[in-house]
Amino acid sequence: MNKIFGLFCLLALLTAGGITEEWPSGDWVLERVDENIGSDNKVSTSEMVIHGRRGSRSIKSKSWLQGMDRSFTEYLAPAREKGTKMLKLEDQLWIYMPSTDRTIKISGHMLRQSVMGSDLSYEDFMEDPELNKLYEAKVVAEEVFLERPCWVLELTSKGGDIAYHSRKIWVDKERFVSLKEERFAKSGKLLKTFTVMNVSRTQNRWIPTHVVFKDELKSGKGTEFFLESIELNADIPEHVFTKASLRK
C-alpha cells in the first residue's frame, strides 16, 4: 500500500510540474549551427541598407569566401562606392579605395570601426567564424521566436582576442539556423543585436536572406542585409585571395 501511495505521489508531482524533455548539450547545438551555415567556399551577392539619421542608403556587393580565414568583397553600387574592395587573409584586412587609388591595411582597434557608416564594424562584416571553436555553449531555455521553436544558448568566450566576450542566440530546433543573437562586452553590456527576418532553403541548407543588424550603442533603425544570391562550395580561383586582386 505504501509503495502504491508513493508512486501516486510521484506521478502527481510530475503532472503538476510538467515533464520536461532533456535538453541537448549547447556544444552539440552549436556544432549543428556551424554545419548548416559552414561551407568550404561561398560566393554571394547582397544589398546592405543603412538606416541613418539623415535617411537610408543602400550598397550592393559581391563576396568570395574560402573557409574561415580568407574573403574578398567588391562593392558594385552605388557609383560612389563602386570598385571599393576588401581582402581578408586570416587576421589581416586590406581595403582598396578607387577614389584615391590607394590600398590601406586595417588592423588593431581600427577593425572595430564602422563600415560605410553602418551598424557593423570591419570585424563584423568580415566574420564567418565557427562559433564552437570560440565559445563554450549552454542551452538555458526553450522559446518560440518568429513562430519557430528555438533552443536559447548562452555562449561564453574560450579566451583570446575576440570582439564579443559572450553571446546569446536563439537557434531554430528543426533547421539549426540562428534566428536572433545578442552580443555582449566582458562587462555584460549589450553591444549589438542580430535578428533574422527571413530564411530560405538553398543547396540543402537553411540560409538567412533578410537580417537586421543593430548597434545598441547607437540610435537609429539599424542596418539591413538582403541576400540576393549564394553559391555554396563554389569553385573560386586562388588569385582572388591576393592583394593583386584589389587593384584589378
For residue range 37-73, what is the model confidence (pLDDT) as tens digits?
Answer: 877 799 999 999 999 888 899 999 999 998 878 999 9
Residue whose cell numbers read 564594424: 121
Please tell me the pTM assigned to this model: 0.84
Contact 223, 214 (CB under 8 A): yes
Give the pLDDT score at 75.
96
Domain ranges, ordered by start, for the chain: 26-247
Distance CA 111, CA 163 (A): 10
Q: Could you report the per-residue pLDDT of 91-140, keeping only the tens digit for each?
A: 889 999 999 999 999 987 788 889 888 999 988 876 656 788 889 999 99
Q: What percent of the chain has pLDDT over 70?
A: 90
Give the pLDDT score at 130.
79
Query: Which residues touch 76 (CB under 8 Å, ≥6 apart)?
Result: 45, 60, 61, 62, 82
Helix H or strand E encompassing 235? none
The three-class DSSP label of residue 217 is coil
- In this predicted model, which residue has the larger pLDDT, 220 or 208? 208
For the four alpha carbons of 98, 100, 106 and 111, in that order, the dihedral sign comes to: negative
Q: Which residue type occupies 110? A: M
- In this predicted model, which residue has the larger pLDDT, 73 or 9? 73
Give the pLDDT score at 129.
66
Q: Could you report the per-residue pLDDT of 169-216, keeping only the tens digit for each?
A: 999 999 999 999 999 999 999 999 999 999 999 888 899 999 999 999
Q: Is the pLDDT of residue 19 over 60?
A: no
Distance CA 245, CA 248 (A): 5
For the chain, what is the largest distance between any 2 Cα atoms, rounded to a whole number of angstroms? Answer: 90
Distance CA 79, CA 44 (A): 20
Reported confidence tier of residue 222, pLDDT bands at 50, 70, 90: very high
Contact 145, 84 (CB under 8 A): no
The three-class DSSP label of residue 185 is coil
The three-class DSSP label of residue 91 is coil
Chain-centroid distance, C-alpha 221 = 18
Contact 63, 44 (CB under 8 A): yes
The three-class DSSP label of residue 162 is coil
* Fold category of 26-247 in CATH: outer membrane lipoprotein receptor (LolB), chain A (2.50.20)
Give the pLDDT score at 207.
93
Distance CA 208, CA 224 (A): 12
Contact 143, 152 (CB under 8 A): yes
Give the range among 10-19, 77-86, 224-233, 235-244 with minimum mean pLDDT: 10-19
Count, residues in the chain: 248
Give the pLDDT score at 149.
97
Read off the pLDDT of each residue in 132-151 and give the average, rounded to a whole number: 94
Give the pLDDT score at 138.
97
Question: How is residue 187 written as a grid cell?
Answer: 562587462
- In this predicted model, which residue has the larger pLDDT, 34 or 149? 149
Give the pLDDT score at 15.
45
Distance CA 91, CA 103 (A): 17
